[in-house]
Chain A
Amino acid sequence: MFDAFDFDVIQRSWVYLFQTGMAFTLKLTLFAMIGGIVLGTLLAMMRLASNPLLSRAATAYVNFIRAIPLVLVIFWFYFLVPYIGAWLIGADQPIAVGAFTSSLVTFILFEAAYYCEIMRAGIQSIPRGQVWAGQALGMNYWQTMSYIVLPQAFRNMLPVLLTQTIVLFQDVSLVYVLSITDFVGAASKVAHRDGRLVEMYLFVALVYFVMCFGLSQLVKRLNRKVAVIR
C-alpha cells in the first residue's frame, strides 16, 4: 500500500521540523501555560471574591471566552493586539507585533478562562477551616491565599492542570491559521513544497500521538500518587 510513498522526506526535513517548528510549539505551550495559570488563578480568586463587581466581571469574562471558538479568538487578537499595544504606549498608529507575541497574548488570555475553572474547583475543595486557621494566626487575605489555600489547591489540581496543558499543546497547532511556522505549519510547508502531504501529515499525527499519549500516561501515574495521600 505504501509503495508509492516516499518517507525519505521526513529524514530530509526533520531538523527543520523539530528545531524550528516543534521548538516554537513547545516554547509557546510553556509560556502560555505559565501565563495562563497565573492569570487563571487570579481570575478564580476574583470569581470567589465577596465583592460582587469583581466576581461578576470575572464570571462574565470566563463565560464569554468559553463560548467562542479558539480560531476566532486567534484572529481577534491577531488584529487587536497591535491596537492595544499602541494604546498602551500612547502611539497613534497600530504598532507591529511579532507572531510569537501576538499568539502568546492570545493563548494566555484564552487558556486563563479554562485554568480559572480548574483553580476555582481547587480552591473550593479546600476546607473552610483552613482559611479560618490562617485568619486566627493574624494573616491577611493575600497571606492566607499564598501560604495556605493556593499551595494545597495547586497540589490537588496538579493532574487536571497538566491535562489542560496537554490540551493547550494540541490547541497551539491552530496558530497554523496565521501561517506561523509551528510544528504543523513547518510540516505543511515541507509537505506542499515536496508534494508529500500523505507522508508528512501521517508523521505529524504520529509525533503528536506519541507525545500526548506519553504525557497523559505520566499524568495518570501522578494522579495515583497525589490521590493516595489524601
Chain B
Amino acid sequence: MNYNWNWPILMETSVDGTGTYLDSLLWGLWWTVGTSLLAWAIALLLGGVIGTLRSLPGRVATIGNAYVELFRNIPLLVQMFLWYFVVPELLPESLGHWLKTLPNSSFVTAVLALGFYTSSRVAVQVTSGIFALPRGQRMAGTALGLTLPQTYRYVILPQALRIVIPPLTNEFVNVVKNSAVALTIGLMELTASARSMQEFTFQVFEAFTVATLLYLALNMIVVRLMRYIERRTAVPGLIAVGGLSAGGK
C-alpha cells in the first residue's frame, strides 16, 4: 500500500486556526459525549415511563406499543431529518422560527431525535424486565392490599429497573455510536471532525484511526461504568448476584 503516512499532521494548526487538528478531534469527542449523555437521559426517562405503560392492563398499553412501533420503524437518519427540517415547519410560526435560529439548533435536534429514538428501545427492555419478574410479585402486592400504582412503586419497578441494567448497557453503547448520525444535520461531533480533517489534509487514515481509538475508549468507559452500576444495584438473592453455586443468603 503506497499511502503517505503523516502522523505529525495531528499537531499542526487546523484550518480554522483555533488549535491543532488533534484539538478539533477532541472537541468533536466532547460534542459526541454531550449529545450522547443528554439523549441518554431523555431515553431513560421516556423509555421508563413508556415501558411501564406497556406492561399495564388495558388501553394504555396500546398507546405505549404504538409509540414504540413509530420510533422503531423509521431509520434514525430520517428521524433526524424530521426533527431538523420538518418539525419547525409544522409548529406555530414563531416557535418554529425560534427553533431554527437557535445558536446550536443541530445539537438540540440531534439530542431530541436520538433521545426519542433510543427511548423506544429502552421501553422495550423495561417492559420485558417487568414481565420477567415472577407473577407472584404482583400477586403479593395485591394480597398486601396495595393499589396498582403502589404495587408498581414499591414492588415491581424497584426490581424491574434493576434487572434491565445489563441489556441497557448495550443501548448506552448504541447511543454513543448512533450520535455519529448527527453529522448529517451538521453537528460537529467526532466522526464529523475526523471527516473534515480528512477533507482539509487528505490524511484519511490518520484522522479515522484517531476517531476509531476515541470511540473504542468511550465504549470501554461506558461498559465499565454500567458494570459498576450493575454491581451496586444488583437485586440480592438472584442468580446474577451470587452465581448458580453460591449458598443462600
Complex: A86 Cα to B82 Cα, angstroms: 40
- Residues in chain A within 8 A of chain B (CB atoms): 1, 64, 67-72, 75-76, 79-80, 83, 86-87, 92, 170-171, 173-174, 176-177, 184, 188, 197-198, 201-202, 204-205, 208-209, 212-213, 216
Assuming the A-B contacts A75-B191, A198-B86, A212-B74, are A174 and B181 also in contact, with contact meaning beta carbons closer than 8 angstroms in the complex? yes
Assuming the A-B contacts A92-B2, A170-B75, A209-B73, are A67 and B215 also in contact, with contact meaning beta carbons closer than 8 angstroms in the complex? yes
Determine the chain B residues whose CB is within 8 A of the CB of A76 once the complex forms.
208, 212
CB distance from B239 to the nearest CB of A (A): 19
15 further A-B contacts with Cβ under 8 Å, apart from A79-B205, A92-B2, A201-B78, are A64-B216, A67-B173, A68-B212, A69-B180, A75-B191, A75-B195, A87-B1, A170-B74, A184-B81, A188-B81, A201-B85, A205-B79, A208-B75, A212-B72, A212-B73
Task: Say which size band chain B's interface belongs to.
Answer: 35 or more
Determine the chain A residues whose CB is within 8 A of the CB of B77 once the complex forms.
173-174, 176, 184
Assuming the A-B contacts A83-B3, A205-B74, A213-B73, are A69 and B177 also in contact, with contact meaning beta carbons closer than 8 angstroms in the complex? yes
| In contact, A201 and B195 (Cβ under 8 angstroms) | no
Tally A-B pairs: CB < 8 A.
Answer: 103
| In contact, B82 and A201 (Cβ under 8 angstroms) | yes
CB distance from A165 to the nearest CB of B (A): 14
| In contact, A184 and B181 (Cβ under 8 angstroms) | no
Determine the chain A residues whose CB is within 8 A of the CB of B85 once the complex forms.
197-198, 201
| In contact, B78 and A72 (Cβ under 8 angstroms) | no
| In contact, B75 and A184 (Cβ under 8 angstroms) | yes
Give 28 A-B contacts (CB < 8 Å), ordered by A residue.
A64-B216, A69-B179, A69-B181, A69-B191, A72-B180, A72-B194, A72-B208, A72-B211, A75-B191, A75-B194, A75-B208, A79-B204, A79-B205, A79-B208, A80-B205, A83-B3, A171-B75, A174-B77, A174-B181, A176-B77, A184-B75, A184-B81, A188-B81, A197-B89, A198-B85, A201-B86, A202-B82, A212-B72
